[in-house]
Each structure stands twice: as C-alpha cells, then as structure tokens.
Amino acid sequence: MIHQNRRKELLSQIDDNAVVVISTNPEQFRNGDVTFPFRPHSDFFYLTGFQEPQAVAVISRNTYTMFLRDKDPDREIWDGERLGLTDAPEILKLEKALNINLLEDHLAQLITAENVVYFDEKPCDFDRMLSNLLSSYTIKSLQDPLHEMRLIKDEFEMSTMQKAANISMVAHVLAMKYVFPNMFEYELQSVFDAHFVKNNAVHAYTPIVAGGKNACVLHYIENNQPLKSGDLVLIDAGCELDYYASDITRTFPVNGQFSEPQKQIYQIVLDAQLAAINSIKPGADVHMPHKIACDIIQQGLENLGLLAPGEPLSKFYMHGTGHWLGMDVHDVGKYQINKQHRVFEKGMVITVEPGIYIRKDDKINPIYHDIGIRIEDDVLVTNTGNTVLTEQLAKTIDEIETLMSED
Ligand SMILES: [Mn+2]
C-alpha cells in the first residue's frame, strides 16, 4: 500500500502523459561466479517494494507493468524462490507482469510517441541498453520529482530510521565497553558486525574503525591496526535496516580515559556539534549547521594557539558538516534550489558530523599530534525543531568515561 501511494503521489506531480521507466540495480560479481548480496536500487524499491534483481517497472496513469524473472525450478534450487509472473500482479499490485526476457520486444508497446518518458540511466550495461530502447522518446529526469519525495520522510520511514538508529546506538555502546589496549581495530569492528547481523540489519556503509593517527585519514577502512593505550579510536559505523540507514560516529579513548589535550579538542568538536544541531528547525537555512560548526571550531583552535587568527580552518577540518540520510547513507535530495541554500522542512533527516583532524606537523605542539575526532548524530526535522534519533548514545566526555568504567 505504501508503495502504491508513492506511485500515485509521483504521478500527480509529473506530466499527464508521463511514463516512468525504472530498473533495479544490476547484480554485482565479487569473484568468479560469486555475487555480492543483492540490494535493490533505492528509487526502484521506494516505488515498487520489489526486492528481486533483473526487474524493470513501467508506471503511468494507464498502466503499472513490471518486467521480471519468471519462475525457474532449476535455478530456484540454487538461488532461492522467485515471485514469478503468475503471482506478481497480486503481490505487487500490478496491472501486468511480463517476462524480463521480453523487455526489448514489449517495452515499445507500452509507450507511444505522445508520451514523455521519465528515466535516468544508471552507469551499468543494462541501463545503457534500456536507454537505447528509449532513444526515440522525449526523456525527462525522474530524479527531480522522485528525490524531492524521498527527501521528506513519512511516518513509516521515520520509525524505521529510529529502529536503525537504535540498533546502531547499542552497537556503539557495546564497542565502548569492549575495547581494550592492543586489540586490533577489526576485533572492535566485529562488535558491529555481530550486533547488526543479530538484528537482521547490515552495514549501511563500510565501517571506519580508526585508532590514533588513522582517524586523520577520513576514509580509513583497512581497520587492521592495533589500538594503543593513550590513543583515541574513532568509529563511524551505522546499520541499514529494511533499506533505511543510520550513520553514527563516536570517538573515545582506548584505555577509557581522555588525556588533557584530547579533552580540549574533543570539547571543541562537541560544542560545535551541539550548536549546529540546535540550529536545525523548519525554515532554517540548511547551510547554517556547517557555518556554526566552522565558526566554533575556528575560535576553539585559535584559543589553543593551533590556528593563527583568520588562518584557514581547512587544515584541520576539511569536510562538510552533514548530509541527507535515508535509504542511501548519503541520501538523495538537493541542498540548493536555484543556487540558493534551501531551508529545512519537517520530515528531512540530516547528519551533523563536525570533526578536527591534527596530523604530525613541525609547527604544531606535539601534544596534539595524531588526534582525530568526529562526532556524528542523525537529526530529524520536526514541526517545531528537531529530534536527534541518536540522542541516547553517550557523547560528552563524562558520559563516555563513565560508561567505559562500568562493568
Ligand atoms: Mn555521515
């Protein structure tokens, strides 16, 4: 029903003579004949609720047709059950189910020269073929209307995202309690692997478990070094549950106690993050959290003498302060409209994740070397302000040290 309503809503927003053509993701080989676990394309799943590979949906005011794989008893012994053409109409609320092998011959029968086709080519062979099949029609981008819809989360989506956040928060707590000096980063990662699997969730993105100076490599995913007493460990890990992502970063001391220099840097990042979150409410400029975070970090680093007044912050803070979150971890939706920052609206979900990364450098007091800190929460815009979906997870220096000292 939820997918049916979305199709209806989409059609109400696009041309009367529109025909939407959308394929799911291609299957990806890992090695030999082994595939990665299949995940449908987010746009495709959002509109159809269909989870099998090799499928194309055609949606208009006159038809809802799906091209999909038919039953194949021999293949199903190996790869599992398929929905098949007979059951698909009732389960997926289709008007018509057609074999995916007939796509080339039958697609043209569903579209006339008067139609406008809403289609976006994904970078894969299948979509290049699809694009060729559609080359004689007027094409418009489906993403413009569809991604605006995905940007605003409905009740079901909000509650799924809260569940995903809850699972991820528990995993971060378990990691804070489990960590000890000289264990390897991957051992700490295993806490997330196990907890996500136990909850029928998967990693929403490759997790970062970065001890000491590794935290200064923004996309460090090797996770294969020992964690040293006296260092911090930065963990950026979140699960995807029922196709909705969570995205959390916490940074905490391997031995349970922040050093003084670590505390000084941590408190600046935390102050920046809290102030940035505070600025999120309907009608506020979506660029505001980043501006506020940058101002506070700049001032904090100047106060410690790590930056000269007015010196560019990019040396220590070189990424944005957040991104949309939803079915994709870096979710769809524009940040600007007509080259102007847009404003927050109820139902948007954004991450807030400022950081400070201090590499070894002759000009910097060595007590601050190799400190990398990021704090990231997931924030839902409400009627009057915001709700932090990841609010319950320890974040202040005291909360983290207390949690880590408990048995
Ligand atoms: Mn993030």
CATH of the domain at 103: 3.40.350.10
As a whole number, mean pLDDT of residues 177-182 equals 98
My answer on whether 102 and 195 are in the same domain is: no
Looking at residue 239, which CATH number applies to its domain? 3.90.230.10
Domain residues for the domain of 146 are 2-150
Ligand 1 centroid to residue 181 C-alpha, Å: 27
Cβ within 8 Å of residue 181, ≥6 positions away: 227, 228, 229, 254, 255
The number of domains in the chain is 2
Q: Which of 185, 353, 377, 378 is catalytic?
A: 353
Q: How far apart are CA 395 and CA 393, in angstroms?
A: 6
Q: Which helix or strand (DSSP H or E) is residue 367 part of? A: none
Active site residue 357: yes
Question: Residue 41: phi, psi to the nearest 5?
Answer: -65, 140
Q: Which residue has the tokens 């136990």?
A: 198
Q: How far apart are CA 289 and CA 271, in angstroms?
A: 12
More confident residue, 407 or 137: 137
My answer on whether 88 and 234 are in the same domain is: no
Q: Which of 43, 127, 236, 378 is catalytic?
A: 236
My answer on whether 97 and 170 are in the same domain is: no
pLDDT digits (tens, 9 = 90+) for 65-94: 999 999 999 999 999 999 999 999 999 999
Which of 379, 387, 331, 383 is closest to 354 using CA atoms? 379
pLDDT exceeds cutoff 90 at 241? yes
My answer on whether 77 and 119 are in the same domain is: yes
- By the CB criterion, residues less than 5 angstroms from ion ligand 1 are 247, 351
My answer on whether 257 and 281 are in the same domain is: yes
My answer on whether 59 and 135 are in the same domain is: yes
> What pLDDT score does 188 carry?
98
Q: How confident is the model at residue 362 (pLDDT cuts 50, 70, 90)?
A: confident
More confident residue, 210 or 407: 210
My answer on whether 263 and 143 are in the same domain is: no
Q: Which amino acid is at 276?
A: A
My answer on whether 157 and 213 are in the same domain is: yes
Q: Measured on CA atoms in the order 381, 382, 386, 391, is the torsion positive or negative?
A: negative
My answer on whether 15 and 162 are in the same domain is: no
pLDDT digits (tens, 9 = 90+) for 248-291: 999 999 999 999 999 999 999 999 999 999 999 999 999 999 99
Active site residue 106: no
As a whole number, mean pLDDT of residues 299-303 equals 97
Q: How confident is the model at residue 407 (pLDDT cuts 50, 70, 90)?
A: confident
pTM: 0.96
As a whole number, mean pLDDT of residues 30-41 equals 96
My answer on whether 286 and 345 are in the same domain is: yes
Mark which of 113, 132, 150 sits at the end of a domain: 150
**CA end-to-end span of the chain:** 47
Active site residue 341: no
Mark which of 103, 118, 150 sits at the end of a domain: 150
Q: Cite the DSSP H helix spans in 227-282.
A: 260-278
Mark which of 101, 133, 150 sits at the end of a domain: 150
